[in-house]
Structure 1
Amino acid sequence: MRLQCEVEVINRMLPTFGMRNRGKAARAVLSIGRHLDKTSKIQNIYLMICTLKDKAGCKYKLKENIEQFFTRFVEEGKATVRLKEPAVDVCLSKADANNLKNFLSAARLAHRGSEVDSLPLTALAPARTRDVEKPKSKMSITSKKDYPLTSCFPYSLEQLQVSYCRLSRVDMRMLTLKKLRKLDLSNNHIKKLPATIGDLCCLAELVLHNNHLEAFSTALCQSTLQHSLQYLDLGQNKLRALPIQFCQLRELVHLKLDDNEMLCLPFKIGQLSKLRFLSAARNQLPYLPADFRRLSLENLDLFGNPFKHPNPLDHTIQLKFPLTLLEMASRAAVNYRIPYGPQLIPAHLCQDLEVSKTCGCGKACLNFYIQTTVSMNLHHVSHTVVLVDNMGGTEAPVLCYFCSLTCYSEFLDKCLQRGR
């Protein structure tokens, strides 16, 4: 039985001599196994603690030698074993909770001396250096020759950079690193992202700059990344659009989409309420989605997009008189916030309701509407705006929808009044 964790051995007798324990927790490997006592020639079960400074290890007898277990914080990977002789407390921390529970159970059985034969005992051998070194939390690989082909990535990694390695796909070994908070795969040849990236429940930063990505999958948008992902760099790829579900990544603070082939931004981008930094420079955006008005940004960069000059009279009419029953019912469901779901109505109707448009009057429209573009000063949504073009402008066209001819006529009247 072995356990890797941090250990501090506290001598309880020192205070009686007016001394203090000056030690601190160190990375260690704990083992429970048999050892032959050279004096009594009797085999007993011992607890051995090996650290980087003492790889040979220090042994403590277990049978009838444990005074008390302190396990209140065992779920947090913490526990203390109080020994009778010598009078020390073995304080354990930063351990895997399940492994710690099994280890304490084995120590308890060894103390009682019962069922010893059933214990998973370990040979009490000196520890290897790599077992007692502090777990590696960061790794950076920036050359193909340094890429590990036969060895695994350290399980304790929290930050991993693999750049300039010509990767054509994401290595599945990376996706087993459950503590990973930052994954940088920039400057590779990755064409597709596996859905299992969404299993990295702690992932807060994902950098995919300068790859060959053509799509960002719906599965990733509906994974645990919804609750963890804060920084996403998709710059310098081959993306033309993002799925509607992309706006379910509501923890996003920083989004980079520069140097792609984007023809439109996500339809419901206004749902990204925590987004503060957005850059989508040098794409193919002719206009911005209507929901763009709901953003509240600190920095916005849309330079180098072929924005079209808005003309309220240049419109698309997609109306039908009278409206279909489906359209009227769908508008009512959105306007009155009637609960819906695939358990109540067909899934394709749910999808239609999720992409409903909002008219200037505040009411919804789905498949029948009038569409035009209006000019908006980007300072309305961002404190700092990078100039949209070389002419020094900070205005861009934004889509605008109307649910009826009446609403559109009122809008045109207001435009004429402003023009006078």
Structure 2
Amino acid sequence: MKLQCDVEVINRMLPTFGMKNKGKSSRAVLSIGKHVDSLCLLICTSKDRSGSKYKARPFHLLYRHDHLKENIEKFFTWFVEEGKATVRLKEPAVDICLSKADINGLKNFLSAARLAHRGSNTDTLALSTLAPARARDVEKPKKKLTILSKKDYPLTSNFPYSLEQLQVSYCKLSRVDMRMLSLKALRRLDLSNNHIKTLPSTIGDLTFLTELILHNNHLESLSHALCDSTLQASLQHLDLSQNQLKVLPTRFCQLRELVNLKLDDNKLVQLPFHIGRLTKMRYLSAAHNQLTVLPGDFRKLSLENVDLFGNPFTRANALEHTIHLTFPLTLQELTLRAVVDRRIPYGPHIIPFHLCGELEFWKACDCGRACVSSYIQTAVSMNLHLVSHTVVLVDNMGGTEAPVQRHFCSLVCYCEFMDSCVQRGLR
């Protein structure tokens, strides 16, 4: 049984002599195997691949004990799910601290060590030959890997578990390799310039992922699972440019840590309805889509840079409106408005599922109240400099204005809005 990880050997006797441990860990290979007629624990590092060169240095020692059963005092496994554990030995009085280990490998190693500790029959244990470690086994864990051709793509070997940045481009991938989703330390995943059509729902298992780049693929839709995953708390940069997206999921704006969002060169007919909830977003690029109007929530954004060039925006005219009002308002509409206005918790376990869907698209009237299915809708022209410090021109005529939706909960609110527009026009 072998395990690759970082190892720090702490001598518990040093404080007795007024000395401190150096507190330094090294990449190492741990082995449990037979030496002569005994079970032994072997630690090899890059500086001591044989395990016997620098016996005076704590984290380069070779520990060989005739009775491993009696020599392990205790296992500390509180943080095994983080790839950490500690094995306490009696003689010498040291703590072997393990970190940055593959979680499954660490569990298997500790299981074998426990069996040895209990004095189990050695024939049932997965023992290793206590031999010097290979240079590649004690190298520092690989953090970054870039693959730019299909011939370099690993088919038989796994990706290094320690990867924090992975780029796989120009490999004609039609789907996301599930082996990538087991890289728990991954922070940046670049799958640009492939043929990916869908994303697996389990991509949210990458709990530390801050950058996801899917530029120039064949994506036609995103699943709700992506927006409901742990990516809500980690994802900051998302590049979906040059795909085939027409709409984004209704829950897309739950990715509230987003800072940079790229949607260029898709087929989007609308931006997320509640885009204003992306309060941390500073860079938005959605050039060359099919946008005709921006959602009303767009006015809540506070951006550093926005690029909406090349969209067929309509000419805004507040007099042109769509009426979805019913007179009088239905009991359902009144109830749904009350749920939003009073912030009453709801869910499919409380109200019918289809009503939950309608509540996802509630609109805010100028008066501050909500409307759900009954409203008046129009569009007004807004200078994008009101929401962004830097604005890329919307068209070839040098314009920086775009139409933004407005909703009104009643005819009274709409008339008041029109009166204010007339007054501003008179001024």
Same topology, TM > 0.5 = yes
Given candidates 24, 47, 52, the residue that maps to 2:46 is 52
Contact 2:33 2:130 in 1 (8 A): no
What corresponds to 1:79 in structure 2? 86
State the shift of 1:68 in Å: 5.8
Secondary structure class of the residue paired with 1:330: helix
What corresponds to 1:35 in structure 2? 35
State the shift of 1:9 in Å: 4.7
What corresponds to 2:280 in structure 1? 274
Root-mean-square deviation (CA, aligned residues, Å) is: 3.0
Which stretches of structure 1, 4 residues or more, deviate above 6 A after TM superposition?
A: 10-23
1:409 aligned onto 2:409? no
Change in CA separation of 1:66 and 1:98 when aligned onto 2, cut-off 3 Å: farther
1:214 aligned onto 2:220? yes
Structure 2 unmatched runs, 5+: 52-61
Residue correspondence of structure 1 range 253-264 to structure 2 within 5 A? 253-264=259-270
State the shift of 1:255 in Å: 0.5
Change in CA separation of 1:123 and 1:150 when aligned onto 2, cut-off 3 Å: closer
Work out the CA distance in 1 between the residues paired with 2:197 and 2:340.
38
Structure 1 unmatched runs, 5+: 37-42
State the shift of 1:383 in Å: 2.0
Residue correspondence of structure 1 range 87-98 to structure 2 within 5 A? 90-95=96-101
Work out the CA distance in 2 between the residues paired with 1:111 and 1:194.
42
1:194 aligned onto 2:188? no
Contact 2:35 2:130 in 1 (8 A): no
What corresponds to 1:120 in structure 2? 125
Contact 1:256 1:278 in 2 (8 A): yes
TM-score (norm: length of structure 2):
0.86
| Percent of aligned pairs with the same amino acid | 66
- Spell out, residue by residue over 1:327-366, the C-alpha distance to the aligned partner (whole angstroms, 9 max, x if none): 1222222222222211111010111112111111111112
Change in CA separation of 1:98 and 1:111 when aligned onto 2, cut-off 3 Å: same
What corresponds to 1:234 in structure 2? 240
Counterpart residue identity of residue 84, structure 1? E
Change in CA separation of 1:172 and 1:21 when aligned onto 2, cut-off 3 Å: closer
What corresponds to 2:170 in structure 1? 164
What corresponds to 1:40 in structure 2? none
State the shift of 1:389 in Å: 2.1
- Spell out, residue by residue over 1:394-415, the C-alpha distance to the aligned partner (whole angstroms, 9 max, x if none): 2211000111111111111111
State the shift of 1:195 in Å: 1.6
Residue correspondence of structure 1 range 342-357 to structure 2 within 5 A? 342-357=348-363
Counterpart residue identity of residue 49, structure 1? I
- Spell out, residue by residue over 1:203-227, the C-alpha distance to the aligned partner (whole angstroms, 9 max, x if none): 2111000111111122211222222
Given candidates 355, 358, 376, the residue that maps to 1:370 is 376
After TM superposition, the structure 1 stretch with the greater mean CA deviation from structure 2, 254-263 or 115-124, is: 115-124
Counterpart residue identity of residue 3, structure 2? L
Contact 2:231 2:255 in 1 (8 A): yes
Change in CA separation of 1:18 and 1:317 when aligned onto 2, cut-off 3 Å: closer
State the shift of 1:119 in Å: 7.0
Residue correspondence of structure 1 range 370-409 to structure 2 within 5 A? 370-409=376-415
- Spell out, residue by residue over 1:245-287, the C-alpha distance to the aligned partner (whole angstroms, 9 max, x if none): 1111112111100111111100111111221111111212111
After TM superposition, the structure 1 stretch with the greater mean CA deviation from structure 2, 321-330 or 5-14, is: 5-14
Work out the CA distance in 2 between the residues paired with 1:311 and 1:232.
34
Secondary structure class of the residue paired with 2:129: coil
Change in CA separation of 1:67 and 1:190 when aligned onto 2, cut-off 3 Å: closer
- Spell out, residue by residue over 1:38-92, the C-alpha distance to the aligned partner (whole angstroms, 9 max, x if none): xxxxx2222211223433333422527849658497556153645635x766443
1:6 aligned onto 2:6? yes
Counterpart residue identity of residue 125, structure 2? P
Change in CA separation of 1:103 and 1:151 when aligned onto 2, cut-off 3 Å: closer
Secondary structure class of the residue paired with 1:414: helix
State the shift of 1:232 in Å: 0.5
Counterpart residue identity of residue 32, structure 1? I
What corresponds to 1:243 in structure 2? 249
Change in CA separation of 1:175 and 1:10 when aligned onto 2, cut-off 3 Å: closer
Change in CA separation of 1:74 and 1:150 when aligned onto 2, cut-off 3 Å: closer
TM-score (norm: length of structure 1):
0.88
Work out the CA distance in 1 between the residues paired with 2:368 and 2:19.
74
What corresponds to 2:56 in structure 1? none
Work out the CA distance in 2 between the residues paired with 1:74 and 1:407.
58
State the shift of 1:118 in Å: 7.9
Work out the CA distance in 2 between the residues paired with 1:243 and 1:308.
24
Counterpart residue identity of residue 26, structure 1? S
* Matched pairs, number: 412
1:330 aligned onto 2:324? no
Counterpart residue identity of residue 44, structure 1? S
What corresponds to 2:55 in structure 1? none
Contact 2:293 2:405 in 1 (8 A): yes
